[in-house]
Amino acid sequence: MDIKEQFKETLNFINSKTNNFQPEIAIVLGSGLSVFCKNLEGISIKYSDIPHFGTSSVLGHKSELLFCEIENKKCAIMQGRFHYYEGNTIQICTYPIKILKMLGAENLIVTNASGGINSNFNIGDIMMITDHINLMGDNPLIGPNEEILGERFPDMSNIYTLELQQKAKQCAKKLNINLQEGVYLAVSGPSYETKAEIKAYKILGADAVGMSTAPETIVSNYLGMKTVAFSLITNMAAGISKNKLNHKEVLEIGQKAGGKLCNLVYEMIKVI
């Protein structure tokens, strides 16, 4: 099926369920952070029901799209994302970002759970992503360019919007959150990184490592969306930590420390 027809089918289905709800802000919630939506009321649609949308099979991802109002701002919230390591193409992983933009969202807030590489970080810290290194071995813009969406060769020098970074700092200060800043390095996963890899990533200038986000923000930049992204440091990476890494621990830390990030995201919605 032609990609334009796919977009049309997806958009028509969502609009039929939401009465043409037009979000101003799109939010992607990472592992264990669906608690953000706990007390929100709105229209929720399962990913599996949306044509061409894809599904997530990862524990800690609810796989529902919630349309609601927060502080009088219309929001579309992805409760979980699609990962490259699940066997999805990189285009499937980023398809929802294109749909959210076409629904009306001009702003994007992305969150993830990641491993800390910077030895000055602690488990439970929040890192605002100032830039990223994409080592996933793929790029979501490969293939025929969708001229209706963006340029073939988008500039990447301001992928994380400076204006929103400044607002994030102000929000963190208001909430008394010690907001770390740094470079996020994206890998394909699903295996965690080796000690040698983490050593190499540190030399490259990475402060945290994870298995998502870069594809989504490459696409949001391509689409002209204002973007801000946060990593919840749920573990210290191999060689930094003496403990073995496991996803259960990531989810547990996400549930314990995620409230702080949820508060920051909520405050960001108010000022965007």
Give catalytic residues, as residue numbers: 31, 61, 83, 85-86, 113, 211-212, 235, 247
Q: Exposed e or buried b for every residue in 115-139, given b needs 16+ CB within 10 A?
A: bbbbeebebbbbbbbebbbbbbeee
Are 249 and 129 spatial neighbours (Cβ–Cβ below 8 Å)?
A: no
Please state, in angstroms and rounded to a whole number, the distance separating the CA atoms of residues 225 and 164.
11
DSSP for 62-99, written as a single string: --EEEEEEETTEEEEEEES---GGGT--HHHHHHHHHH
Contacts of 119 (CB under 8 A, 6+ apart): 240
CB 71: neighbour CB atoms within 10 A? 11
Task: Tell me which residue has tokens 């994380």.
Answer: 160
Tell me the residue type at 16. S
Helices (H), 19-59: none
Contacts of 80 (CB under 8 A, 6+ apart): 29, 34, 47, 56, 58, 60, 61, 62, 63, 64
